Structure 1
Amino acid sequence: MKMLALALWMTGTANAAAAPAADDPLTRPMAVERAKEWLAPQPPERIFGKTWLVGFGGLSVALIDTVDGLVLIDGALPQAAPAILANVRAAGFDPGDIKYILSTEPHYDHAGGFAALARDTGATVVASARGAEGLRAGALAKDDPQLAYGGTWPAVTTRVRVVKDGDVLKLGDTEITAHATPGHTMGSMSWSWNACEGKICRQIVFASSLNPVSADGYRYTSAAGKPFVSGFAKSYKLMDALKCDVLISAHPDNAGEGRVNDKPGACRAYAERSRGLLAKRLAAEKAGTAK
């Protein structure tokens, strides 16, 4: 299956290169410094059971086959949408079978492609309440630590379904649980589900970013920053306790082990990495050395 997917992916890539698409406002490239790194091409890869990765070297996009339809998680930058759909086809699936697109956070590097993907597949976008606000606006929230970076992306104008922490999305033979993981944004959401191969089942976790990164001048030690610090603490507690046989992180380089991490304690290690970064950041702010 992997060899066939690779052959189809190479053919699709060649065809796309030979026939540039007409200008599309929903896939118009964003001028982002790390776009080339984030969108480094990757062929589709089956992770376990009916779970695939259909994204890129620096941005994860997952695909779940539920028998009664497909579920996509995250959508990368706006210009990535055609390549995501090409990878779905190369994996042997019809993009028209995508029923839901799940959001980890309302940032352009993970949600920029949603408007085009929802339009082209007819899928419903699923997000937290705060996440849905950002997706509908196509802009960062006013309290976002990265607000000063600026930047907007195509707003999602089609159906958006709001879910809460602990809600379960059911489709076909799959149940996907929403886990609120605030900190990076207050609307961040992680997702978990069981994937099986015969009698062997594993819980897969697609984790939202837990990186305490911000625009210059922002302070997590300020009154505005304290809710985010509390949010990180809640997310760490969740990740420490969550059953996690396979970790997929929104940015693959944060998973700790290549594109995924299937070692014991992967989610705890993911949280511990963020704990260290946040502690270092808070110390720098208190010492007056933070940017």
Structure 2
Amino acid sequence: MSRLSLYPTLLFLFIVSMSFGQKATTSSNAHSDWTQPCEPFRIAGNLYYVGTYDLACYLVTTSQGNILINTGLAESASMIRSNIEALGFKFSDVKILLNTQAHYDHVAAMAAIKKQTGAKMMIHEGDAQVLADGGKSDFALKGKENYFAPVKADRLLHDGDTIRLGETTLVALHHPGHTKGSTSFLLTVKDENRSWKVLIANMPTILPQTRIMGMPAYPKVGEDYKYTLDAMKKLQFDLWVASHASQFDLHDKRKPGDAYNPAVFNDRAEYDAQLDTLTQAYLNRLKTEK
């Protein structure tokens, strides 16, 4: 059996285990790969990976300063800084902070990094309140273990909005469901040989706590998931990465010390297979809730 034919089954098992892991416990001890160090590296052009082993954080460099997307857990703030500096960039040059989803595993270090750099925080309006109250108003994840230091956004984003810094422009794509303001980003980066259109995807996984038929704090969650799954299938890009390294098989595609090779992230078949599996998970959830 081919690797691709096995992929939907393996991905489903990963999604289930990851989701139930969040339900059972949210401590970093339960997800050691969330705080495990990872070698920072150049993905393509002026886009770099600066996250932990599984919590993906991205640095976009420009002539007018840099953009940091996601921060991981609170205890990872110093690691993110070290990764940025190991690549030869100044931490103080981070001018804009972005986020793919306002869950503690992607924003808990945001307050500290914002304070240290003075960067402007930009987030989709759907996640702005959750960010501002440190996770207390999240529609699905409840409990102190899911809280984080609150951050007030300097700019609220909407679907299709552009974020410009220097010669780089990112387009914010609203992909709600996992959170109300879940966001993917499209940008074009350039290296010495060519340009690459890159998708930083927030894959629409479904938490066990989420009721697709609707929840008091999020009545349209099912409709939003359907919209997101349909919208993401229509996107066009050259390379793609995601909010978790495990979602795009980072550690199979790249080993520590590997030479610069953007082409390893040119894997449309994997992206489509993941969306097919997530669509089936959505349909299965609908059946169980009826």
| TM-score of the alignment, normalized to the shorter chain, above 0.5 | yes
Residues in 1 aligned to 2:92 and 2:125: alpha-carbon distance in whole angstroms: 26
Structure with the bigger RCO (C-alpha within 8 Å, sep 6+) is 2
Q: In 2 relative to 1, CA 55–223 (structure 1 residues): closer, same or farther, beyond 3 Å?
A: closer
Q: Is the partner of 2:276 in helix, strand or coil?
A: helix
One-letter identity of the residue aligned with 2:82: A
CA contact (8 A) 1:245 1:266 kept: no
Tell me which amino acid in the other structure corresponds to 2:168.
Answer: T
Mapped pair 1:151 → 2:146: yes
Are 1:119 and 2:115 matched, yes or no?
A: yes
Alignment of 1:84-233 (within 5 A): 84-142=80-138, 144-147=139-142, 151-157=146-152, 160-215=154-209, 218-222=210-214, 224=216, 227-233=220-226
| 1:157-182 Cα distance to aligned partner (Å, 9 max, x none) | 5x521111000111111000000000
Amino acid at match of 1:254: Q
Q: Secondary structure at the match of 1:147?
A: coil
Separation in 2 of the partners of 1:131 and 1:74? 13
SS of 1:277's equivalent in the other structure is helix
Q: 2:272 aligns with which of 268, 274, 277?
A: 268
Give the letter for the 1:253 counterpart.
S
**In 2, Cα distance between the equivalents of 1:138 and 1:35?**
21
**2:231 — aligned with what?**
238
Q: Do the aligned partners of residues 145 and 223 (structure 1) sit closer, same or farther apart at CA in structure 2, a change above 3 Å counting? A: closer
Shift of 1:145: 2.6
SS at match of 1:176: strand
Maintained 8 Å contact 2:40/2:50:
yes
Give the direction of change, closer, same or farther, for the CA distance of 1:209–1:117 in structure 2 (3 Å limit): farther
Which of residues 21, 40, 46 is equivalent to 2:42?
46
Quick one: structure 1 residues 166 and 273, their matched pair in 2 at CA, closer, same or farther if it must change by over 3 Å?
same
Q: Report the alpha carbon displacement of residue 129 of structure 1 after superposing the two structures with TM.
A: 0.8
| 1:277 equivalent in alignment to 2:277 | no
CA spacing shift, 1:32–1:264, aligned 2, 3 Å: closer
Judged with a 3 Å threshold, the aligned counterparts in structure 2 of structure 1 residues 140 and 107 are, in CA distance, closer, same or farther, namely farther
Q: Tell me the alpha carbon deviations over residues 57-104 of structure 1, each in whole angstroms, 9 at most, x when there is no partner.
A: 111000011121111100111111110000000011001110101011
* 8 Å CA contact 1:107, 1:140 repeated in 2: no
How many matched pairs? 253
Q: Is the 8 Å Cα contact of residues 134 and 141 (structure 1) preserved in structure 2?
A: yes
> Matched residue of 2:288: which SS?
helix
Q: TM-score, normalised by structure 2?
A: 0.80
- Match in the other structure for 1:22: none
Unpaired runs of at least 5, structure 1? 1-29, 287-291
**Is contact 2:28–2:34 with CA below 8 Å preserved after alignment?**
no
| Partner SS, residue 248 of structure 1 | strand
For residues 170 and 145 of structure 2, the distance between their equivalents in structure 1, rounded to whole angstroms, comes to 32
**Equivalent-residue separation in structure 1 for 2:135 and 2:215 (angstroms):** 23
Per-residue CA deviations over 1:218-257 (Å, capped at 9, x if unaligned) read 5323454651111111112221111222111101112256
| Distance in 2 separating the partners of 1:81 and 1:223 | 33
Q: TM-score, normalised by structure 1?
A: 0.80
Root-mean-square deviation (CA, aligned residues, Å) is 2.2
* Structure 2: runs of 5+ lacking an equivalent: 1-25, 254-263
After TM superposition, the structure 1 stretch with the greater mean CA deviation from structure 2, 225-234 or 70-79, is 225-234
Please, which moves more after superposition, 242-251 or 120-129?
Answer: 242-251
Task: Give the distance between the partners of 1:266 and 1:210, measured in 2 at CA.
Answer: 15
Structure with more of its chain in helix, by fraction: 2
Amino-acid identity (%): 26
Q: What do residues 115-164 of structure 1 show as CA deviations (whole Å, max 9, x unaligned)?
A: 0110111111110112121111111435x23336853101115x521111
Of residues 48, 56, 62, the one that matches 2:58 is 62
Amino acid at match of 2:114: A
